[in-house]
Structure 1
Amino acid sequence: MKKFTMGRGQTRMNADKIKNQKSKINPTLRRIIGYAFALAVLFFLGRLLVQTWDQIAASGFKFEFDLPRLLLSLILLIVARAFAVEAWRRVLLSFGERLDFAFGVRVWFLSNLTRYVPGNIWQVATMLVMVEQKGVSKTNALLSQVVYTALALAIAGLLGLMFFLMRPEILQGILDPGIVPYAPLIAVILFSALMIFFALPPVNRGLVALTARITRRAITAPTPTFARGLVPPIFSLLMWLTNGIAFYLFADSITPVAPANLLAFIAMNAGAYWIGYVSFITPSGLGFREGALAWMLASFFPAPVAVALALATRLWATAGELLGVLLVWISQMWEHK
């Protein structure tokens, strides 16, 4: 009987073939799983909304639609994105790269269109391609996004934790309710410490070294200074505060919300975003963000209202992004006239 053997070259070819097949299957499988999770969460939220909607009539809750407040909230979403662009631009400037603010806004809004693709990487990938057209190094652009994202998520996470200081009863006795009057002071202290931390030159150098290790590229950046490093955290904080105010106005445009709850709405908006971002399995945190937001909103409204507001918030945020894209498109048309 003739015995067949396989050489090393053939074995390697077969291994590469299997690896390539897996690489083609895995992204598709991850995408399907991501959308399945998102749809499952949205389904259960929707079912809860339908099953408990009769509670609204029993509680005497009323909706009062206010169009001017809604429009103002959408405008503030654009302003918040402008602060985010400036924070990112300042980080990019610290690496010796210059990018025009108007073009930065264009890049930001157009790349946002890819956020709903699973993986949370496509927005950055689109940004890299666009900024390269202006002569910005892809390596420095990637580094700036890593630093900016770390900064934005740190601030969002800390803001989210502030929600529990303002609504300690949601943790069922873990925190003393007497801490509520001190929440603003605690927030000021913690955010000051966070911004100083990110502005420190050793931290900046550490982020550069970490990014160089992850990307496996040699990265050289200008010598960081404390004053220059302090600017991006300030703009990033302004972004989250403005975005939170916009969210408060959006909720207030649907049903009256006491001004005393403004800080809590700023905190829950940032916290829900943080939870959605770190849930890499779903596109743009779809489902996870709504679930977290509904849970926090339930401390202010009946459960069906909280769920309805959480679901409507996604549509509202998307409308704000599309409004930004529309403004970018109009500005481009105006330039070409």
Structure 2
Amino acid sequence: MARLRSRLAQLAANRRLVVALELTALAIFLGALGWALRDVWADAGPRLRHADLVDLGLALVVLAGYYLVFILGWMRILGAYGIQIPYRVALQAEMLSMLAKYVPGGVWTPAARVVALRRLGVRDTPLILASVLLEAGLSALAGVGVFVVGLAFVDGVDAPLPLIAAFGVLVAVLLYPPIFRTVASRLLRPFGAHEVPALPGRTAFSLLAFYACTWPLGGLALFFLLRSVGGDPAIASIPFLGGASAIGAIVAVLAIFAPSGLGVREASVYGLLLAVAVEGVALGAIVLNRLAITVVEAALLLVGVLLIQARPAQVVEDPRPDPQLASGEGAA
């Protein structure tokens, strides 16, 4: 067993081998996915070529709004840790990390934020990484909640509900303050962490509610994408579509072999969209969704860079973070 662990550690240390294995697994998965959907492309292709530009434009605007609002959550987490950053800095760092997901290796998303903030004077790498973990955990937990609520508005959803519920419970347990402090401190010890504090309870629950409100924006963007390729989803399905977007994002993070969850995210969302759309519409919508996400992230990154160049940012690391955070009282 010890020899096996040593061998696995050596394999993990070989970045080139890891990347090669990831790309091989991704190619196999995409090939299988394309083969499984080969009969659907005949319907989806014309829908994509004749997509309604008005609905597509509305989807891009709403998706951009989702990202612009989502960033506020990360800023709030950093603020609780005593790191105050201007919005334009958060915008650049967040979008850089989003695009970094396309680079094989799995470490570039958090690394991009660390690099972006280090350039602006923030040197506390463990707290930056902890903020990324909290953002991912809280938004995922909120997304599961939105998905469950959304099921009340749509019939005939084929989803692995026990697995989704188990994932939500697992995330909630990991976010529980004593467990989060222990896990995060050990996980981030190689980066110099001693004890990573948990968020105050009021802050954590307010962020959970905040992220729960952001997912319906993603659902609204998906609503317009479905319409753009000839779908006719009900307005009442928007909460469900927001939950479907959340499940897709969660699967994208868990599928470590696929950069940015490429293909895996689309497959999971496609399966859920079949509850509100025919196969050709669902396939067309997920293709446009991937393109829209990439275009919006790149455009917002450019905006962030231009804003910083126009007005150089000053980042403040407050030595006096949230009093509840420092004392450990009221954590949740």
Instruction: Report the TM-score, using the length of structure 1 for normalisation.
Output: 0.74
1:303 Cα deviation from its structure 2 partner: 2.3
Residue 203 in structure 1 maps to residue 176 in structure 2: yes
Of 91, 115, 120, 1:134 maps to 120
Indicate the SS of the match to 2:156: helix
Q: Which residue is 1:154 aligned to?
A: 141
Q: Per-residue CA shift, 1:238-286, capped at 9, x if unaligned?
A: 3322222122122222223332322221121111111121111211111
Q: Which residue is 1:248 aligned to?
A: 223
Q: Which amino acid in 2 is paired with 1:317? A: I
What is the correspondence of 1:271-282 to structure 2 with a 5 Å cutoff? 271-282=247-258
In the alignment, structure 2 segments of 5+ residues that lack a partner are 1-6, 313-332
Give the Cα–Cα distance (whole angstroms) in 2 for the partners of residues 45 and 213 of structure 1.
38
Q: Which moved more, 1:291-300 or 1:42-51?
A: 42-51
Residue 298 in structure 1 maps to residue 274 in structure 2: yes
Q: Which residue is 1:102 aligned to?
A: 88
- How many residues end up aligned between the 2 structures? 293
Indicate the SS of the match to 1:270: helix
Instruction: Report the TM-score, using the length of structure 2 for normalisation.
Output: 0.75
What is the correspondence of 1:258-337 to structure 2 with a 5 Å cutoff? 258-335=234-311
Indicate the SS of the match to 2:84: coil
Give the Cα–Cα distance (whole angstroms) in 2 for the partners of residues 307 and 62 of structure 1.
9
1:332 Cα deviation from its structure 2 partner: 4.0
Give the Cα–Cα distance (whole angstroms) in 2 for the partners of residues 236 and 287 of structure 1.
25
Give the Cα–Cα distance (whole angstroms) in 2 for the partners of residues 108 and 55 of structure 1.
36
Q: Which moved more, 1:77-86 or 1:38-47?
A: 38-47
With over 3 angstroms needed to count, the CA separation of the structure-2 counterparts of 1:122 and 1:277, relative to structure 1, is same
Indicate the SS of the match to 1:65: coil
Residue 36 in structure 1 maps to residue 32 in structure 2: no
With over 3 angstroms needed to count, the CA separation of the structure-2 counterparts of 1:209 and 1:23, relative to structure 1, is closer
With over 3 angstroms needed to count, the CA separation of the structure-2 counterparts of 1:55 and 1:226, relative to structure 1, is closer
Q: Which residue is 1:122 aligned to?
A: 108
Q: Which amino acid in 2 is paired with 1:266? A: G
With over 3 angstroms needed to count, the CA separation of the structure-2 counterparts of 1:35 and 1:167, relative to structure 1, is farther
Q: Which residue is 2:131 aligned to?
A: 144
1:126 Cα deviation from its structure 2 partner: 1.3
Give the Cα–Cα distance (whole angstroms) in 1 for the partners of residues 200 and 311 of structure 2.
37
1:76 Cα deviation from its structure 2 partner: 2.0
1:19 Cα deviation from its structure 2 partner: 9.6
Q: Which moved more, 1:279-288 or 1:323-332?
A: 323-332
Give the Cα–Cα distance (whole angstroms) in 2 for the partners of residues 52 and 62 of structure 1.
12
Assess if the C-alpha contact under 8 Å between 1:73 and 1:246 holds in 2. yes
With over 3 angstroms needed to count, the CA separation of the structure-2 counterparts of 1:144 and 1:72, relative to structure 1, is same
Give the Cα–Cα distance (whole angstroms) in 1 for the partners of residues 43 and 57 of structure 2.
29
Assess if the C-alpha contact under 8 Å between 1:31 and 1:118 holds in 2. yes
Q: Which residue is 2:4 aligned to?
A: none
1:164 Cα deviation from its structure 2 partner: 4.6
1:62 Cα deviation from its structure 2 partner: 11
Residue 236 in structure 1 maps to residue 239 in structure 2: no
With over 3 angstroms needed to count, the CA separation of the structure-2 counterparts of 1:319 and 1:149, relative to structure 1, is same
Give the Cα–Cα distance (whole angstroms) in 1 for the partners of residues 254 and 10 of structure 2.
28
- For the pair shown, the structure with the greater C-alpha radius of gyration is 1
Q: Which amino acid in 2 is paired with 1:117? A: V
1:161 Cα deviation from its structure 2 partner: 4.1
Give the Cα–Cα distance (whole angstroms) in 2 for the partners of residues 55 and 135 of structure 1.
52
1:90 Cα deviation from its structure 2 partner: 1.0
RMSD: 3.5
Q: Which residue is 2:324 aligned to?
A: none
Give the Cα–Cα distance (whole angstroms) in 2 for the partners of residues 209 and 48 of structure 1.
43
